[in-house]
Amino acid sequence: MRGYFGMPGNGEDRGFGRVIRAGLAVIAVMACVMALMSCHHAAAVSGAQNGEVSRGGSSTTSIDTSSSSSSSTSSPDGDNCPAGKLTSGWLRAENALGGTTAWQDAKHTVSGTVNGYLNHASARCGDTVTAYLSAPERVSGASLSAYRMGYYGGAGGRLVWESRNLGLGPQVSATVSDPSLLTEAPWAATLTFPVTGRWVPGYYLLVVRAPGQTASSIPLVIRADGDDAPLGYQASVLTYQAYNTFGGHSAYGNLPAAPSTELSFDRPYQDGGYYSAYQYELPIVREIEKLGIDTDYFTDVDADADPAQLKQHHGIIIGGHSEYWTKRMYDGALAARQAGVNIAFFGANSVYTAVRLTSSPLGSDRRMVLRRTAAGDPVAAKDPSQATVNWADPPLNRPEAALVGEGYGYLGATGSLRVLHAQSWIFAGTGVTPGEVLRNTIGGEYDQVDVNNPTTPRDVDVLAAMPLRTKSGAAEMATTTYYVAPSQAGVFNAGTTYWPCVLNGDCLHLAPTPPAAQQVITRMTDNILTTFAAQPAGRQHPSTPSWPPTPEGLVSSAKQPGDVSQRTD
C-alpha cells in the first residue's frame, strides 16, 4: 500500500511450573476436604480445572462450553486431542451446533478499553496459550471468552471456552526501541490455558470483557497440522501487524509518529490492525463454513514456517488484505500452484511488500522486519533475495502479478464493477449480462491488470472492471481476474480489498451494496470456493484470455456518470 489506510512463550518455567501447579492443586484439594467446604474456587485458583493458571493474583473460574458429542473432531471424552486426520464432514457437523451473536460486542473499528494479546497467533491441540490482558483501572469480574467463527445458522460464532472472575488492572506502558521504533507491551501474564480436543480447528476470537468497560477481541487460529482438507485458509496476520498502531507506531508514516521498521506481535491490536479480522477475514470464513467445505486454518506465519503444507489442499483461500509476504511464503505459494493447487485472493494489494521474521522474548517469528529499502540492510547486503522492499522493485524484481495475475493499483476509490465476461463459469447462476453494473462493490484498495507487464499471465481472463479517474483526470481501472497455470491450477483475484465485507454488507466508507449486487458477489464467491475445493480448476474451467478495453475506453463507454469512480487521493 502507498498510504495509510510457534514457539511457546517463555518456556523456562514449563517443567518446574507444572510440578508447582500440580502440588498446589493437591494442597488445595486437601485443604478443601479438611475444611468440609466446596473446593471449586480453590481448585480453579490452583489451575486444577481445565488446566488454567491465573497469573494476576485473582481467582478464576474456567468454563468449557462444548459437549463431548459436539463434533467428530473430538475424542470420546472431548478433551483429548483427536488421533489422525479429521473425519470428512466435520465442519458441516460443527456448524449444525447452536451458535451465538454475543461475540459481536467486540466488533469495533479501533479496540476496546480492556484489551490484550496472546503468545501465539495460532496453536494446535495440545498447546498451551498465555493471555496478557490489561484494563485502564482495577476491575474484578472480567472474563475471557473463546468463540469459534463460522456460520452456525447465521449467528456467526459459537462459544467454546470461557474464563470468568478475572481481576484486571493497568499494565506497564508500551516500550519503543530505537532505531527501528520497535513497539512492544512487556506485560505480566494474566492466565494460561490448554488447547484441548474441544477446540475444533478454525478461526477464533477471544473476547475480553470487564464490567463498565468496552470489550476487545484477540484473533487466534487453531490449526490441524498434517490434515489434508479440500481447502486451506491462510489468515493474514502479518498485514494486521503492519497496520497495528498500538503504542503509537505502525508500518506507516502518515500517523503522528514515524513508522516502525520492525513490528511486534507482543502487543494488542489497534485501529487497522484490530479491524482487519472483521473487515477482511470473517466474511470469507463465514461463507466457507456456510457451504460446509472441510477447511484447515493457518496463518501466513505458519505458511512461512512450513510452506509445503499448502500442497496438502486442493485450494488455498486468502482474505481481503494480504499485503506482506515473506520469501518462503511467496516461493511456497508458487510451488503449490505448480503442483496444481488453486489459489483464491479475495482481496487486493496482495503479495505487495516483502518482510522477514525474527524472534521476540515470547518466541520465534514474533517480530516482522520491514525496512522498505535495501540500503543499510546488513541482511540484504549478504543476500539480496531477503531485502524487505516491494516485491516488484529491485533487488527482488518479482512483481506480484506473476502469482496474483495482476498488480497493485492504488487506494481511495469506491464504486461499481462492470461485468465484462458474463459467460465465465465464475458468473454461473448469477444471471448477469455483459455490461451490467454491480453497484457499490469496490472499495479500499484495488488492483489492475497490466497488459504491458511481462509477468502478467498471457491467458488472464478479466471478468469485470471498475472505470475510474484520478484527481488529475487520468483514466484507470480496477479489475477482477482469473487465470490457469500450466499445472491446471486456477488463480482468482478479486481486485478489491472490500470483496469480503461486501458479502455481509458491512464495509467501512462504502455506500450500501444493493441486495441484487450482493447476491452476485456471493454466488461468485461460492462458485470459486466449491470449484477450488474439488480439483485443479483448469481441468474443468480453462481460462479464456479476455482483455478489457483501455482504461480510457472503459471510462468513455460508461452509460452513466455515476458508473465512473472518482479517486480521492
Q: Model confidence over 232-278: pLDDT tens digits? A: 999 999 999 999 999 999 999 866 678 999 999 999 999 999 999 99
Q: Which three cell numbers stand for residue 37?
A: 467446604
For 417, residues 6+ apart whose C-beta sits below 8 A from its C-beta are 437, 438, 441, 442, 464, 465, 466, 478, 480
pTM: 0.89
pLDDT at 221 over 90: yes
User: What's the pLDDT at 61?
Assistant: 56
* Helix then strand then coil, % of the chain, to nearest 5: 25, 25, 45
Beta-strand pair 295-299/324-325: unpaired
pLDDT at 83 over 90: no
**Whether 161 contacts 65, CB under 8 Å:** yes
Q: What are the residue ranges spanned by the domains of the chain?
A: 11-305, 401-566
Q: What is the 3-state secondary structure (H, E, C) of 114-175?
A: CEEEECCCEEECCCEEEEEEECCCCEEEEEEEEEEECCHHHCCEEEEEEEEEEEECCCCCCE
Distance CA 476, CA 124 (A): 45
pLDDT tier for residue 53 given thresholds of 50, 70 and 90? low
342-371 confidence digits (pLDDT tens): 999 999 999 999 999 999 999 999 999 999
Distance CA 512, CA 505 (A): 7
Question: What average pLDDT does range 129-149 have in this prediction?
Answer: 99
- Coil, helix or strand at residue 410: strand
Beta-strand pair 231-235/315-318: parallel
User: What's the pLDDT at 1?
Assistant: 54
Question: What average pLDDT does range 434-451 have in this prediction?
Answer: 96
Residue-averaged pLDDT of the chain: 89
pLDDT at 163 over 50: yes
Q: Which three cell numbers stand for residue 541?
A: 474451467
User: What's the pLDDT at 254?
Assistant: 66
pLDDT tier for residue 376 given thresholds of 50, 70 and 90? confident
pLDDT at 30 over 70: no
Cis before 395? omega within 30 = yes
User: What's the pLDDT at 255?
Assistant: 60
pLDDT at 32 over 50: no
Distance CA 10, CA 207 (A): 23
Helices 282-291, 515-532: crossing angle, 10 deg rounding: 70
Starting at the edge strand found earlier in the chain, the sheet holding 262-264 runs 262-264, 363-369, 356-360
pLDDT at 450 over 70: yes
Pick the range with the lowest mean pLDDT from 151-155, 483-487, 555-559: 555-559
Pick the range with the lowest mean pLDDT from 31-45, 162-176, 243-257, 404-418: 31-45
For cell 512487556, what's the residue? 186
User: What's the pLDDT at 569?
Assistant: 77
pLDDT tier for residue 68 given thresholds of 50, 70 and 90? very low
Distance CA 395, CA 318 (A): 26
Chain centroid offset of residue 559 CA: 38
Counting residues of the chain whose pLDDT is more than 90, the rounded percentage is: 81
Question: What average pLDDT does range 165-169 have in this prediction?
Answer: 98
Sign of CA dihedral 354, 301, 72, 131: negative
Question: What average pLDDT does range 544-554 have in this prediction?
Answer: 91
Beta-strand pair 356-360/363-369: antiparallel
Pick the range with the lowest mean pLDDT from 56-65, 289-298, 506-515: 56-65
pLDDT tier for residue 67 given thresholds of 50, 70 and 90? very low
pLDDT tier for residue 82 given thresholds of 50, 70 and 90? confident
User: What's the pLDDT at 63?
Assistant: 65
